[in-house]
Structure 1
Amino acid sequence: MKKRLIYFLSQKHIRSSMAEAWAKKLAIKDAQFISGSWCHKEISPLVADALHEYAMEPPATISVTPSQQLLNEADLIVTIYDSASELAPRFPAELTDKIMYWDIKDPEQSTEELVKWAHYQEVCDNIATSVKGLEKVLL
C-alpha cells in the first residue's frame, strides 16, 4: 500500500517541525510526515524544549524546501502561518484541494524571553490539538 505524504509547511520551520513531531505520534501507519519552510530554514532551541515537555524530540531531518515536484506528490499540504504577522503562501490552483491552512501564532514574535517561552508552550499545545484533529481527517 502506498504511503500518503503529508507535508507541514511554515515560514521558519519552527511550527512545521513541531507539527511533524506531533504527527509522528499519531496512530496512522500509511502516512509519511515531513516538514519544511517557505522562507527561512530557522530552528530555535525552544522547539526542542517545548517538545521535551511531552517527552518528544524534534524531527532529526532539516527543513524540506517546497519544490513543485514535492507539492505535486504531497497528498496534503498543511500550511501553518500567523495571520497577524505573515502572509500565507499562494499555491497553484491545481493544488487547492490538498491545501489546509492553520492560523497559529509565531512564537518568535515575542522579544522577552519568558514571554517567548510561554508562547512556545502555547503554540506547541495548539499544534498538538490541530494535529489530533488531522488524525480524524486521515483515518
Structure 2
Amino acid sequence: MKKRLIYFLSKRHIRSAMAEAWAKKLTVNNVQFISGSWRTNQTPPFVADALHEYAMEPPASMPATPSQALLNEADLIVTIYDSSSELAPGFPDELREKIMYWDIKDPEQSTEEPVKWAHYQEVCDNIATSVKGLEKVLI
C-alpha cells in the first residue's frame, strides 16, 4: 500500500513546522507528513520553544519548497494562512480537491516579546486541535 503524503504549507515555515510536528504524533498508518513555506523557510526559535512545552521537537528535515511535482504528488495540501494579514496562495484547478485551508494567526505579527510568546503558544494549541481533527479524515 502506497503511503499517503500530507503537505503542510504556510507563508513562513512556522505554522507548517508546528503542524508537521503535531501530525507525527497521530496514530495513523501509511502517512508521511512534510512541511514547507511559500515565502520564507526560516524557523524562529519560538517554534522550538512552543513545541518544547509539549515535549516535542520541531521537524529535523529541511522545509520542502512547493514545486508542481510535489503538489501533484501530495494527497492532501494543508495551507495554513492568517486571513487578517495574508492571502492564501492560489493553486491550479486540478489540485482544488486536495487543498484544505486553515485560517490560523501568524504569531510573527506581534512585535513585543511577551505578547509574541503568548501568540506562539496560542497558535501551537490551535494547530494541535486542527491536526487532531485531521486524524479523523486520515483514518
- TM-score > 0.5, shorter chain as reference: yes
Cα deviation, residue 89, structure 1: 0.2
Runs of 4+ in 1 over 6 A off after TM superposition: none
Describe the superposition over 1:4-63 as per-residue Cα deviations: whole angstroms up to 9, x where unpaired.
Answer: 000000000100000000000000121000000001111110000000000000000121
* In 1, Cα distance between equivalents of 2:45 and 2:85: 22
1:63 aligns with 63
What TM-score results when the alignment is normalised by the length of structure 2?
0.99
1:24 aligns with 24
> Any unmatched runs of 5+ in structure 2?
none
Cα deviation, residue 74, structure 1: 0.2
Give 1:117-128 correspondences, 5 Å limit: 117-128=117-128
> Any unmatched runs of 5+ in structure 1?
none
1:38 aligns with 38
Q: RMSD across aligned C-alpha pairs, in angstroms?
A: 0.4
* In 1, Cα distance between equivalents of 2:58 and 2:114: 21
* In 2, Cα distance between equivalents of 1:43 and 1:51: 12
Calculate percent identity across the aligned residue pairs: 81
Number of aligned residue pairs: give it: 139
What TM-score results when the alignment is normalised by the length of structure 1?
0.99
